[in-house]
Amino acid sequence: MDLDVIVLGMGPGGEDVAGRLAEAGLRVAAVEANLVGGECPYWGCIPSKIMIHEAETSRAWETLVRRVREATDSWNDQVAADRFTGKGGHLVRGHGRITGPGEVTVGDRVLRASRGIVIATGSQPAVPPIDGLAGTPYWTNHEAIENAEPPESVIVLGGGAIGVELAQVFRGFGAEVTVVEAADRLIALEEPEAGAALEKTFAGRGIDVRTGAKVARVDYDGRFHVNGAEAERLLVATGRRVDLKALGVAAVGLDESARAVPVDARMRAAEGVWALGDVVGKGAFTHMSMYHANIIVKEILGEPVHEAEYHAVPRVTFTDPEVGAVGLTEAQAREQGLDVRVAVGDLGTRGWIAQAEGLVKLVAAGDALVGATVVAPPGGEVLGLLTLAVHARVPLSRLDEMIYAYPTFHRAVSAAVKELTAAG
């Protein structure tokens, strides 16, 4: 097969690159060992948000199972595969390994591409080497999403985004839930105020949160025992990992022991090699992989392209309330030696009307925001305003001069901005 480009991995970013290049007339082969579409539509963004919605509304497990199976086509990727091949692409099923410049081996088949390779293989759940864990029927997010029966009780190992979202889901369906987190707070990569707000919410809903709790051993006797907690199920949600050695990146001069593939601002990892999404280490988000994909497509097609920037990366934890954040946290800004000013406020009148607790935290350096966090029922939507402000480096004076609709959650941003301009 004469090829122009080989795309390794068909998650959202890989599928976008492969499909668009095929539509542009290039000869493209895409290699996928699992489901075309990747983590997001089958075990990540889409089904998990359906679970969150059903836990907050219907609270009927049967409805949840039906909706998840409808959304994932019962974990069948034929529609996605046909979508790609319908654009003229070639789909190769199996594990692909780079075996030389422009060369990928899949089983006993060797593919060669004249323009190069795009690495878009995503990440896998990271399972820590805890004594006693191996060999037990623990869950990752995959088993938690696919499970057809509601659990009676769950221990969630890990208080990051996946852990807290699924903890709240299972509690919404009546399970006894314990969250065990090694750090001193939930969602430890975000602002401390956001973690504290979630912990307060969890306590009010009967979720047992144990922070600062390192786990040395897991015992299983038909039920799981972790740090004094006992449950029917154990969900391991301790982050994600990439396996560059299995991809064979050393064949193109890359370090196979690295935690991520280093790339330049045009997503080039080596001559004739591009990488996107989770493997790049800039955030395991679908929107990040799509952002990278757009750059790579334009780069390969020779079109004008804006180089990658990461000063305004948005992220949302879809709990209730949602936690939306963008850019730097206060701690990160101070670590960079910036002249930091901070304002923290509640949700104002809208919070009172909606009987909703939450907060807005703005982190400024100079005359612009470098980071922001909002905890509110529609935190991810309010984040749009803050992401634009951080991305475009809008002067605080201009933000203070804006008209903020009343009464809205985003109006809480106005009060925090005024506090910063007064302090400046």
E-only strand ranges, 158-262 = 176-180, 208-210, 219-220, 224-226, 229-231, 233-236, 240-241
295-348 confidence digits (pLDDT tens): 999 999 999 999 999 999 999 999 999 999 999 999 999 999 999 999 999 998
* Inter-residue contact 29 to 90 (CB < 8 Å): yes
Burial of residue 8 (number of CB atoms within 10 Å: 0-12, 13-18, 19+): buried
2-37+77-123+242-301 adopts what CATH topology? Answer: FAD/NAD(P)-binding domain (3.50.50)
| Alpha carbons 405 and 381: distance in angstroms, whole number | 14
| Alpha carbons 22 and 15: distance in angstroms, whole number | 10
Domain 314-423 has CATH 3.40.50.720: no
141-238 adopts what CATH topology? Answer: FAD/NAD(P)-binding domain (3.50.50)
Structure-block tokens of residue 265: 């601002």
Closest CA to 208 of 154, 162, 161: 154
* Inter-residue contact 119 to 270 (CB < 8 Å): no
Residue 424 has pLDDT above 80, yes or no: no
Task: Check if 2-37+77-123+242-301 and 141-238 are the same fold.
Answer: yes
**What is the pLDDT at residue 146?**
95
| Alpha carbons 399 and 181: distance in angstroms, whole number | 37
Residue 354 has pLDDT above 90, yes or no: no
DSSP class of residue 103 equals: E
User: Mean pLDDT across the stretch 392-416?
Assistant: 95
Closest CA to 55 of 140, 150, 141, 142: 150
15-62 confidence digits (pLDDT tens): 999 999 999 999 999 999 999 999 999 999 999 999 999 998 988 999
At residue 353 the predicted structure's pLDDT band, cuts being 50, 70 and 90, is: confident
At residue 405 the predicted structure's pLDDT band, cuts being 50, 70 and 90, is: very high
Q: Which residue is associated with the tokens 């400024």?
A: 364
107-164 confidence digits (pLDDT tens): 999 999 999 999 999 999 999 999 999 999 999 999 999 999 999 999 999 999 999 9
Residue 350 has pLDDT above 90, yes or no: no
In angstroms, the Cα distances linking 159 to 3, 66, 155, 162, 165 are: 44, 28, 11, 8, 9
Residue 175 has pLDDT above 90, yes or no: yes
Does pTM top 0.85 for this prediction? yes
Burial of residue 256 (number of CB atoms within 10 Å: 0-12, 13-18, 19+): middle
Domain ranges of the chain: 2-37+77-123+242-301, 141-238, 314-423
| Alpha carbons 218 and 136: distance in angstroms, whole number | 9
Closest CA to 289 of 242, 333, 321: 242
Beta strand 368-376 pairing with 322-327: antiparallel
Q: How many Cβ atoms are within 10 Å of 148's Cβ, its own excluded? A: 10
Q: Is the peptide bond before 192 cis (omega within 30 degrees of 0)?
A: no
